[in-house]
Each structure stands twice: as structure tokens, then as C-alpha cells.
Amino acid sequence: MAESLVRLAEKSLRISPSDADQSEYHVRGTVQSVSASTCAVRLGAAEQVTTCSRFCDCKAGDIVLVLVMRSGRAAAVAKLYK
């Protein structure tokens, strides 16, 4: 049930990156490692990890909501669940 709620929240927050009017979108990812102000997150089914600014309390293995900006920068903004 918790996962279905997360998916519903994800759908409501997701802004399509293909929309020319939008400058950012949200995606779920798994934290691989954490440092002082950043974390390495595997976004969706990606093979590579993305370095994200860390704005939530997370540790390796947590699922986080990541804000991806048009500039290419990313920020982990909320921990969804372990």
C-alpha cells in the first residue's frame, strides 16, 4: 500500500521533462552513498548514479524524491521510504 501511495504521489508531482514550458521534474531514486552535503542516487532504472545536493536526511538504500532541473543539477528533496 505504501508503494502505491508513493507512485500516486510521484505521478501527481512528475512534470514531463519533454514539456518546453517546464524547467524541472521529479523522479524517484535509490541512494547509493551519502557525504556531508551530497548523495549519489540511482535515478529510476538508470545504470549510472547521479550526484545530488542533499536536502533530506537519508542513508544508503533509502528511496528519495529527486528534483532534476533544466541546468542538469539534481537535489534529493524528500525521503520516501526505506
CATH number of the domain where residue 47 is located: 2.40.50.140
Q: At residue 4, what are phi and psi to the nearest 5 degrees?
A: -65, -35
Q: Are 66 and 76 in contact (CB under 8 A)?
A: yes
pLDDT per position as a tens digit, 18-63: 555 567 889 999 999 999 999 999 998 889 999 999 999 999 999 9
β-strand 50-54 against 74-81: which pairing, if any? parallel
Q: Please state, in angstroms and rounded to a whole number, the distance separating the CA atoms of residues 41 and 71.
A: 17
Number of domains in the chain: 1
Cα dihedral sign, 13-18-23-27: positive
pLDDT exceeds cutoff 50 at 64: yes
Q: 72: pLDDT confidence band, cut at 50, 70 and 90?
A: confident
pLDDT exceeds cutoff 70 at 4: no
Spell out the residues 6+ positions from residue 48 whose beta carbon is closer than 8 angstroms to its own.
42
Residue in 55, 64, 56 with CA at minimum distance from that of residue 82: 64
Model-level pTM? 0.71
Domain that holds residue 53: 2-81
Question: In this predicted structure, what is the pLDDT of residue 15?
Answer: 45
